[in-house]
Structure 1
Amino acid sequence: MGEVRREVGVTVRTLGEGGAPRIARPVQAPPSANTVAGTVDLYYALDNRDRAFRVGQRVAVDLPLAGQTDGLSVPSTAILRDIHGGEWVYQKTAPNTFVRQRVEVASETSGRALLARGLAAGAQVVTDGAAELFGTEFGAAH
């Protein structure tokens, strides 16, 4: 939380619909965090006159952070998320051989995912067709 730049707006976008991202501006609100649960609440105002967003709708929010983060990045299309929120990529280990590898995504922007951990530099990952590999591995179509 110490890295979040609270004085600037955040980017809000719908999940899976590819809509244009919007900027929400920070606003002051009464404290509502839960110290027992270890939560922190930040409040932002979003212009929704066109009703593009609904109450309770899940959205992706990009929080601006202070400083610069270095790390490995992969195309966002390489990232798979399981039903528990786990993040994975398929890493090429030999010709026509791919192994599912757990990763942790630090952030995503402009079609790239910055990884906090999970891959070594130079690793080759599947960027197109990762969902098909996931479906083949678990016997379900996606």
Structure 2
Amino acid sequence: MKYRLFLFCAVTLALLAGACWYIYQTLYSSPPARSTPAQAAPQPTVQTVNGETVVVVGADAQRASHIDVAPLAAVSVQPDSSAYATVIDLQPLFDLRNRLAAALADCDSAREQAAASRAQYERSRVLYADDRNISQKSLQDAQASMQAAQARLQSADAAQGALAATLRQQFGDALTSAAMAPGSALFQRLMTGRAVVLRVTLPADHNEDAPARITVDAPDGQPVAAQKLSASPQGDPAVQGNPWFYAAGRALPVGTRTSAHVPSSNGSTSALVIPERAVVWYGGQPWAYVRTAPDRFTRRYVPAANENDQGFVVTSGFHAGDAVVMHGAQLLLSQELRPQGIATACKDPPECDD
């Protein structure tokens, strides 16, 4: 009996010890090791190196953002200079042309009357000389009529000449010739608004002759071709230089002041041109990003004054072979301007749009 009691107590203690060990292992032992996920790719950062702001973007982020670069190569460009251009009001030209047309008609009528009166006087003179077949008074009347017609013709010629001189004094030889020529194609385009006249003031130190063709900037920024007409007899009181008249085949508001690009006759030269697709605008100025290292990009200023149909001509700040960002510059600008040092609970900030 005592042996059974002892055996029962031993089994009970063994079971109690096993239960306690299980509870200890379950509640207090360290959890099993878990596999750590792969470290996420570093996000783009902004640094300041030697006074320049540098955007650091890893290779994986560049591929994901489709950031592409291309080496900057020298191209052949036509050098030009800038000049001031103003769209002039042509209403005085049209008014003078109408007055000139009326003066021409009066001149033709006076010329016909003078010719008829002279013929009548010659007939009367012959009849008077032939045994006085007409009276002396009739001859004198014919002579007076001839002289009056001749005076009217001289007056009409003087009026026509004065109007033509006024036209030339205000609008030059080319526009005056177009106004006086019947059926002038140039004058028809001007009257219908399909062309305008600009007064382009070339710099005073422009030693070359005015080029036959130039381009001017329209209000929408598009270049407009213009063809030389003649020298302008009147200059722009606000600009000193050599004024010339040019005709542009596009309707532009009267009084518009814009810039003209005057090509040089020295031929083309080699220069660096930043393509327009590589330029981003910030603060009202154009910029371009250059990759200075495999993962570093720097923003550089692009002079906007030397823009042409190929892009932005640069003479400083860039060098041949520079890796200029052609696609993705706007993303780099957004990253550069993004506030730094702000914590976020999202693991992938570009994806945290919600």
TM range (shorter): 0.5 to 0.7
Greater strand share, structure number = 1
On the 8 A contact 1:5/1:63 being kept in 2, the answer is: no
| TM-score (norm: length of structure 2) | 0.30
Structure 2: runs of 5 or more not aligned: 1-204, 339-354
- Provide Cα deviations, 1:19-77, integer angstroms capped at 9, x if missing partner: x8542123525222547xx888765321235xxx4457787754312323322223222
Task: State the partner residue of 1:120.
Answer: 319
Task: State the partner residue of 1:64.
Answer: 263
Q: What is the deviation of 1:91?
A: 0.7
On the 8 A contact 1:26/1:44 being kept in 2, the answer is: yes
- Paired-residue identity, %: 25
**Count of matched residue positions in the alignment of Structure 1 and Structure 2:** 131
Task: State the partner residue of 2:295.
Answer: 96
1:13–1:135: structure 2 CA closer, same or farther, 3 Å change rule? farther
Tell me the amino acid that sits aligned with residue 70 of structure 1: S
1:106–1:22: structure 2 CA closer, same or farther, 3 Å change rule? closer
Q: What is the deviation of 1:100?
A: 0.5
| SS of 2:336 mapped into structure 1 | helix
Does residue 47 (structure 1) correspond to residue 249 (structure 2)? The answer is yes
Task: State the partner residue of 2:228.
Answer: 26
On the 8 A contact 2:211/2:262 being kept in 1, the answer is: no
| TM-score (norm: length of structure 1) | 0.62
Aligned counterpart for 1:129 among listed residues 324, 328, 346 = 328
Q: What is the deviation of 1:101?
A: 1.1
| SS of 1:71 mapped into structure 2 | strand
Tell which structure's C-alpha radius of gyration is larger.
2
Does residue 138 (structure 1) correspond to residue 337 (structure 2)? The answer is yes
Task: State the partner residue of 2:274.
Answer: 74
2-side partners of 1:54 and 1:13: how far apart? Answer: 13
| SS of 2:332 mapped into structure 1 | helix
Q: What is the deviation of 1:99?
A: 0.7
- Larger mean Cα displacement after TM superposition, 23-32 or 56-65: 56-65
Greater helix share, structure number = 2
